[in-house]
Amino acid sequence: MEGKSKLILVTNDDGIYSKGIQTLADIASEFGKVIVAAPLESQSGMSHAITIKYPLRIKKVAVKNKIDYYGCSGTPVDALKLAMNKIVNKRPDLILSGINHGSNASTSIVYSGTMAAAIEGCINQVPSIGFSILDWNENTEFSHLLPYIKEIIKKVIDQGIPPGTCLNVNMPMLNGETINGIKICRQNKGYWQEEFDHRKDPQDNEYYWLTGEYVNLEPDATDTDEWALKNNYISVVPVTIDFTCYNAINLIKHWEKY
Amino acid sequence: MEGKSKLILVTNDDGIYSKGIQTLADIASEFGKVIVAAPLESQSGMSHAITIKYPLRIKKVAVKNKIDYYGCSGTPVDALKLAMNKIVNKRPDLILSGINHGSNASTSIVYSGTMAAAIEGCINQVPSIGFSILDWNENTEFSHLLPYIKEIIKKVIDQGIPPGTCLNVNMPMLNGETINGIKICRQNKGYWQEEFDHRKDPQDNEYYWLTGEYVNLEPDATDTDEWALKNNYISVVPVTIDFTCYNAINLIKHWEKY
């Protein structure tokens, strides 16, 4: 993959009208022809969900900076599948997802619609990158991040990434500090400790809001995405679509029985 | 983990009223105290989705064979999180998910609510197993599978599985043949080739139903779950919750920049 005039499909999970997807689409347009296809509404936390019970719709909702924007009624993965099948006429050369508001580092990758789209691209043998920023503010200023995002896209276009691998890129929240650089990392071990917010509705029925706090199981590790982000680096984790735990195969091989 | 009186949480993605979850709960009750908590409705294809935009509800909907059944308004992962937080008073000793109708072998694991629940259990440091059968018939007879399911549960209780690993167990569709045994496998490489079903609604607006066919990228491999299932074996894939592609770290390490 090299040169300009690549076909680049851009998606996200925050929805087609978010600032992050437009920023990403505009950057991508420096590298080729861009088509944007994303959920019509926010689909945060939808992970790799696909819509089976309901029909899907897709339509062009805008043209911005000469880029066509298609809105889809479903999840990020629905939007990507539908766009690849019905909007673009060939397999894209690159799939970009984001820029997501909120961290998709560590265990958060499993809940992430942004990263699910990147994983889906990778399953379809298209080099794919998910971008997230540790900042929930919808009006976040991205300008200081643009050179890094461009550089990562350029590296993937020029050098490729191994088949079966996509990239999980997270960018730190800065408080007046500067970015220290780009770190290639592994996924930090941790989990979300739920603290459901318990309420009663006007009919006196109980309900819950899902909330929680991230528990870092290896706060002292220095080769993880969590460490990189805490230290003002952009974290890049190469993510596999093969979830096999190969070490464990050997450990339980003797369970086989014929 | 050994002996009886373990606390076992059983969930699924086909919904609390499915036959598969009751079969699994009844088997589990031979190993300890069982609590069932699952979505009120079918949540197939919901993957690791969590519900952020809507409140969640959970209530006891049945008692069968002395086992309490709790129905949850959300996804499989919502149900598991809510049950672990609000229903059981301690971390379960084991989480079982299924028995799912339809394959969760190969790439289907990423779309699967059944396996998402097992992965969520594993993230929460609870040994977890997802069970699926390659048969969409809701009235499938499970009796010939029971000894194998029991054996796999017993192995996990007696010997444990490595931390950060859960099991993806798929059981073949048999056409009068017998099961050849249990195979420990790796995840087959493949993808779903979509063939969206294009229709028009009564208002003449276009819509699509998601359909597709599985494409096996390595039909000749003999160490995969797909091969095992085609050859009438029960496939057991140890699944990692660390999605880092460690080989790729070395390949792109030189992209680092400070």
Secondary structure letter of residue B145 according to DSSP: G
pLDDT confidence band for B251 (50 / 70 / 90)? very high
Q: To the nearest whole angstrom, how far is the Cα of A188 from the nearest Cα of chain B? A: 8
| B98 and B132 Cβ atoms separated by less than 8 Å | yes
Task: Give the best residue of A43, A185, A257 to mutate against chain B (max B CB count within 10 A).
Answer: A257
- Other beta carbons within 10 angstroms of residue A143's beta carbon come to 7
pLDDT confidence band for A4 (50 / 70 / 90)? low
**Cα nearest neighbour of B84 on chain A:** A194
As a dihedral over the C-alpha atoms of residue A197, residue B68, residue B79, residue B54, rounded to 10 degrees, the angle is -50
| B137 and B11 Cβ atoms separated by less than 8 Å | no
Residues 4-33 of A with CB under 8 A from B: none
Give the CA distances from residue B107 to residues B46, B56, B193, B237, in Å, rounded to whole numbers and listed in that order: 14, 29, 12, 12
Query: What are the sequence ranges of the domains in chain A?
Result: 6-188+219-255
Give the CA distances from residue B4 to residues B28, B154, B217, in Å, rounded to whole numbers and listed in that order: 11, 11, 43
pLDDT of B211 higher than 80: yes
Q: To the nearest whole angstrom, how far is the Cα of A65 from the nearest Cα of chain B? A: 27
CATH 3.40.1210.10 fits A6-188+219-255, yes or no: yes
Answer whether A258 touches B (CB < 8 Å): yes
Q: Which residues in chain A have their CB less than 8 angstroms from residue B130's CB?
A: none
Say what the pLDDT of residue B123 is: 97
Q: Cβ B243–A187 below 8 Å, yes or no?
A: yes
Say what the pLDDT of residue B1 is: 47
Mean pLDDT calculated for residue range B222-232: 97
Say what the pLDDT of residue A137 is: 86
Determine what percent of chain B is predicted with pLDDT higher than 70.
98
To the nearest whole number, what is the mean pLDDT of chain A? 94
Q: Cβ A242–B189 below 8 Å, yes or no?
A: yes
pLDDT confidence band for A219 (50 / 70 / 90)? very high
Q: How far is the C-alpha of B126 from the C-alpha of B103, rounded, in Å?
A: 23
How many Cβ pairs closer than 8 A exist between chain A and B? Answer: 238
**Cα nearest neighbour of A231 on chain B:** B258
Instruction: Tell me which of A189-193, B81-85, B133-137, B138-142 is least confident.
Output: B138-142
| B15 and B40 Cβ atoms separated by less than 8 Å | yes
- Other beta carbons within 10 angstroms of residue A20's beta carbon come to 23
The interface predicted TM-score of the complex, written ipTM, equals 0.94
| B82 and A196 Cβ atoms separated by less than 8 Å | yes
Task: Give the best residue of A210, A216, A241, A249 to mutate against chain B (max B CB count within 10 A).
Answer: A210
pLDDT 10s digits, B113-129: 999 999 999 999 999 99
pLDDT of A3 higher than 70: no
Give the CA distances from residue B220 to residues A93, B170, B182, B244, in Å, rounded to whole numbers and listed in that order: 28, 19, 19, 27
Answer whether A237 touches B (CB < 8 Å): yes
The HSE-up count of residue B175 (CA atoms within 13 Å, CB side) is 3
| A101 and A14 Cβ atoms separated by less than 8 Å | yes
Answer whether B52 touches A (CB < 8 Å): yes
Determine what percent of chain A is predicted with pLDDT higher than 90.
90
pLDDT of A204 higher than 80: yes
Give the CA distances from residue B48 to residues A110, A254, B42, B116, B211, in Å, rounded to whole numbers and listed in that order: 6, 31, 14, 5, 20
pLDDT 10s digits, B168-185: 999 998 878 899 999 999
| A258 and B242 Cβ atoms separated by less than 8 Å | no
Answer whether A161 touches B (CB < 8 Å): yes
CATH 3.40.1210.10 fits B6-189+219-255, yes or no: yes
pLDDT of B60 higher than 80: yes
Q: Which residues in chain B have their CB less than 8 angstroms from residue A56's CB?
A: 196, 207-210
Say what the pLDDT of residue B4 is: 55
pLDDT of B15 higher than 80: yes
Answer whether B154 touches A (CB < 8 Å): no
Say what the pLDDT of residue A139 is: 84
Q: Cβ A45–B52 below 8 Å, yes or no?
A: yes
Q: How far is the C-alpha of B155 from the C-alpha of B240, rounded, in Å?
A: 18
Q: Which residues in chain B have their CB less than 8 angstroms from residue A186's CB?
A: 242, 244, 246, 249
Mean pLDDT calculated for residue range B5-31: 96
Q: To the nearest whole angstrom, how far is the Cα of B30 from the nearest Cα of chain A? A: 20
To the nearest whole number, what is the mean pLDDT of chain B? 94
Residues 78-117 of A with CB under 8 A from B: 78, 81-82, 84-86, 107, 109-111, 116
Closest CA to B187 of B218, B160, B159: B218
Residues 167-196 of A with CB under 8 A from B: 180-187, 189, 191, 194-196
pLDDT 10s digits, A57-105: 999 999 999 999 999 999 999 999 999 999 997 899 999 999 999 999 9
| A70 and A60 Cβ atoms separated by less than 8 Å | yes
Q: Which residues in chain A have their CB less than 8 angstroms from residue B240's CB?
A: 243-245, 248
Q: Which residues pair with A194 in a beta bridge?
A: A212
Say what the pLDDT of residue A136 is: 85
Q: How far is the C-alpha of B126 from the C-alpha of B92, rounded, in Å?
A: 7
pLDDT 10s digits, A123-157: 999 999 999 999 988 888 888 999 999 999 999 99
First-to-last C-alpha distance (Å) of chain B = 47
pLDDT of B230 higher than 70: yes
Q: Which residues in chain B have their CB less than 8 angstroms from residue A111's CB?
A: 48-50, 77
Answer whether B209 touches A (CB < 8 Å): yes
Give the 3-state secondary structure of residue B71.
strand
Q: Which residues pair with B32 in a beta bridge?
A: B6
